[in-house]
A and B are shown apart, each in its own frame.
Chain A
Amino acid sequence: MTRIESRLHVPEVPARPGEEPDFSYVRISPAGAVPRPPIGVAVRETVPLAEDLIRVLDDEGAAIGPWDPKLPPDTLRAGLREMLLTRVFDDRMQRTQRQGRISFYVRSWGEEAVSVAAAHALRTGDMLFPSYRNQGLFIGRGTPVLDLMCQLLSNTRDMCKGRQLPVMYHDATRRLFSISGNLATQYPQAVGWAMAAAIKGEDHIAAAWVGEGSTAEADFHHAMLFAKVYRAPVVLNVVNNQWAISTFQGYAGGEQRSFAARGPGLGLAGLRVDGNDFLAVYAATAWAAERARAGHGATLIEHVTYRAGAHSTSDDPSRYRPKDEFPAWPLGDPVERLKKHLIGLGEWDDTRHAALLAELETEVAAAWKQAMSFGTNNDGARLDPALMFDDVFKVLPPHLEAQRAELEAELAAARDAGAAT
């Protein structure tokens, strides 16, 4: 009696807990099969590229087809190292959160290629607007993991001076914009940054990242429209990792239509890319960057990948999707695929890989020890709480000056009370 007759369409989730993983909905093109048009191609010519899947690495780990960026082995090894470093760093930080050392963490497990390959394909002068799952952009641009750890700890060396939730990094020197916990807000900002570069006559471009879930926000559409109208030199990335917390990508509009297809729909070039293929991500990003820099306008790139872990340390995916889906994910593991490619080239082997892994684990452990020496959540040195009043404005206004004095009196009273007992 409480059920009503309904004609509403409710997106079908392929598999729930206890069921077999089902990725039959993911449309996959063979490696090397998608043509690579010249960078100045008309937007309508990219319509098929936005529905097919650009892939370079085949199942045997060979690089094939027109999108092969033919990178030197040193670049491939650097990419492998940074993806692996991202993963080792993520695993370690996840554990420290479980130990109560940091309040919150977000891993990028399984999505490392999306960030690290892009960091290599873009120029150092290009401005990046990361989301909270793009730590690989920071690592790929050389931000020391020590700096990231100090932010996670909100300690005396925290770049955000204790003001931001863990993982909301920035690195102005390396041109990585301040991360927002609000979704898609940076998308139009990246377009504006790119418009300013065009106004100033610079050849830098901007790039921004959102998850497929965040494409639902109005800011996503504002960004695409401004990018189209002003032909802004920007690369707009959608990381389609299939899940927005518990909500499957079908609820973001992914059923029967790619996210990349929204590019041509709004007048931007669109590319749909195998996000777990380092070479494909590199090649697509480089193509879009060159197109933007040459004045042909923006590109929307969809990176098809899989969120192997939980949304964050506050999430439990076993409540809404099958356990162990990642091994069934048809596009594999980005680290393993690049490793296999390098081994196939004769430029890598299992012994060197094991040595690299051990080296990175040591490096991360040493950085963590150093980071903790600058204070943690629970003990050690601490930022001065009065710092919370700085940077609300450039110059502290009188009412905040009064509040800061009030806080200092309160803290002194607390110390006196503590001393008395």
Chain B
Amino acid sequence: MTAMSMVQALNSAMEVMLARDPRVVILGEDVGYFGGVFRATEGLQSRYGAHRVIDTPIAEGGIVGAAIGMAANGLRPVAEIQFADYIYPAYDQIVSELARMRYRSAAAFTAPVTIRTPCGGGIRGGQTHSQSPEGVFAHVSGLKVVMPSNPYDAKGMLIAAIEDDDPVIFFEPKRLYNGPFDGDPHKAAESWAGHPMGDVPEGHYTVPIGKAAVVRAGNAVTVVTYGTMVHVCLAAVADLGLDAEVVDVRSMVPLDIDTLAASVAKTGRCLIAHEATRFGGYGAELSASLQERCFWHLQAPIQRVAGWDTPYPHAFEWEYFPGRLRVRRALEALMQVSA
């Protein structure tokens, strides 16, 4: 085991796969010589060559389209879209092509592509470097959609994504790249060193796609969350001294509804928290699925905490971000309701 940041863990996953599987190639803007704007591919081109770690033109549609063609011709491309905010020029390739290649050709052609992309706010990125569009992709049939919340999961899930025979959209909460973040922007940045999930095996291992993780056990209320919000929710729960169970969804598609529903059935209360906008967001799917399974166990309506339904404003980052205070207020209100 080695102490790794999330960026190092992702780098290690790609290194492991480049070494193990000659079909694996990496492509994206600035990923080669430079090693990526967040350093996720640092050193990979010098070790594996410019033919396997490929700098591309600034053309997200081209990156994904080419990755589909490479995958159809036997490679295992890992495409980086530099910011999730810049994925939309590739939307047609992802939705109309990548997601449906297996289906429309009755499995005669498949496209096992992994698309890595940094998402989320908290870095003063404004509306073009802060979005969380996981719900937009979770809504598309044929895509696996995941988001790790720590280095250990990041490496294991990225290896699982690369080995998966279906396309995976791999969201990386960039605020967590270099350390956990409990929602307090005024505190000195923490590092992953010393965090239990910052201890990462150097070799090959997987964290299966489609499995949620109970990151804190409890009986009073279930908090269902993922990405950066896992850490924010853990801090809010600690602030309140609540006997809360916190579940990290990790995989939006496929969803581990059994783990989530078992927890909600046990506690009878559920708060769903994500950074993405609320209206029509992924939280709505979680809420509906849990209500269908757990209605007779619920002691209060399922509640959601999310980003406001506005673009992500530069100057009001922390008023926009669903921080600890918003989570605490929602939990307090939720605990006061009795059926």
Seen from chain A, the residues whose Cβ lies within 8 Å of a Cβ on chain B are 2-4, 6, 8, 10, 13, 16, 103-104, 154, 158, 160-166, 168, 180-183, 213-214, 216-219, 244-247, 251-253, 314-315, 319-320, 382-383, 385, 387-389, 392, 399-400, 403, 407, 410-411, 413-414, 417
Contacts and interface: CB of A to CB of B under 8 A. Distances in A.
A222 to B, nearest CB: 11
A319 B42 CA distance: 11
B319 A217 contact: no
Interface string B117-138: 0000000111111000000000
B315 A163 contact: yes
A320 B54 CA distance: 15
Interface centre among A8, A164, A183, A388 (most CB of B within 10 A): A388
Interface centre among A182, A219, A382, A383 (most CB of B within 10 A): A182
Main SS at interface, chain B: loop
Given A383-B315, A388-B319, A411-B319, A218 B59 contact: yes
Main SS at interface, chain A: loop
B33 interface: yes
B248 interface: no
B127 A164 contact: yes
Contacts, number: 142
Those 4 A-B pairs whose CB atoms lie nearest each other, nearest first = A162-B315, A181-B128, A246-B34, A216-B57
Given A217-B89, A245-B29, A388-B319, A154 B314 contact: yes
Nearest to A392: B310
B48 interface: yes
Contacts of B128: 165, 168, 180-182
A103 B314 contact: yes
A388 B329 contact: no
B325 interface: yes
Contacts of B320: 388
B85 A182 contact: yes
B325 A410 contact: yes
B19 A2 contact: yes
A4 B315 contact: no
Interface residues on B, range: 35 or more
18 contacts: A4-B52, A10-B54, A154-B315, A158-B315, A163-B311, A163-B315, A168-B126, A217-B59, A218-B59, A218-B61, A244-B29, A245-B37, A247-B58, A315-B37, A383-B316, A388-B320, A410-B326, A411-B319
Contacts of A10: 50-51, 54
A3 B49 contact: yes
Contacts of A400: 308-310
B14 to A, nearest CB: 12
Contacts of B172: none
B129 A165 contact: yes
A388 B126 contact: no
Contacts of B308: 388-389, 400, 403, 407
B55 A251 contact: yes
B232 to A, nearest CB: 14
B33 A320 contact: yes
Nearest to B279: A399
B300 to A, nearest CB: 18
Interface centre among A13, A154, A246, A399 (most CB of B within 10 A): A246
B18 interface: yes
A150 to B, nearest CB: 11
B182 interface: no
B124 A104 contact: yes
Nearest to B318: A385
B59 A247 contact: no
